[in-house]
Amino acid sequence: MNKIEGLVLRENGDGNWRPNIMKIDGGCHCGYITYEATVDPEYVGICHCTDCQTFSGSAFRTGALASKDHFRLLTGQPKVYVKTAESGARRAQAFCPECGTHVYSSAPEDPQVFSIRTGTARQRDRLIPSAQIWCRSAQAWTMNLDLLKKFPKQPPVRP
């Protein structure tokens, strides 16, 4: 594996190298914010930190990484909230000021990499996580979702 201009190159079996890239596009729930990006699908991960649990309102958050040269906002201007992580690092959380959808996170000043929230991408079904981080904070049940009942749509709600 080699790196060139922020992209990862992979040998394709015949001695040639090719970039492992994927173009994605998406936006917030209401459509105010839209973007396009080029990502390496190998760099999609799940974060179980307690901040991601709180921000997502769920047990984890999933992100795909894009370098600053491969991420572009097309419409809208996100509202940004800067949080301080356990490590002391500051992270800008960008979300739609209209509907509240979290779109990405990055360094607050001169971001080099954007962690795009995969649920905002139209191609979300192809952004398959390859790693999980902050597993010490993970909710125990997230480590084996196969045990849960599955329904194709919303089942009847019982009071």
128 occurs within a structural domain: yes
CATH of the domain at 74: 2.170.150.70
**Is 129 a residue whose pLDDT tops 60?**
yes
> Which residues, 6 or more positions from 58, have their beta carbon under 8 angstroms from its beta carbon?
none
81 occurs within a structural domain: yes
10 occurs within a structural domain: no
How much is the pTM? 0.82
> Which residues, 6 or more positions from 105, have their beta carbon under 8 angstroms from its beta carbon?
63, 91, 92, 93, 94, 114, 115
Give the model's pLDDT for residue 147: 83
Centroid of chain to Cα 90: 17
26 occurs within a structural domain: yes
146 occurs within a structural domain: no
Closest CA to 20 of 9, 36, 4, 5: 9
CB 33 within 8 A of CB 96: yes
Q: ∠ CA(53), CA(55), CA(90), 5° rounding? A: 105
Q: How many domains does the chain have?
A: 1
Q: What is the C-alpha to C-alpha distance for residues 119 and 129, in angstroms, rounded to an integer? A: 12
145 occurs within a structural domain: no
Q: Cβ atoms within 10 A of the Cβ of 89, count?
A: 10
Range of the domain at 115: 22-139
Q: Which two tokens stand for residue 155?
A: 């089942």
12 occurs within a structural domain: no
**Is 102 a residue whose pLDDT tops 60?**
yes
**Mean pLDDT calculated for residue range 134-144:** 90
Give the model's pLDDT for residue 68: 95
147 occurs within a structural domain: no
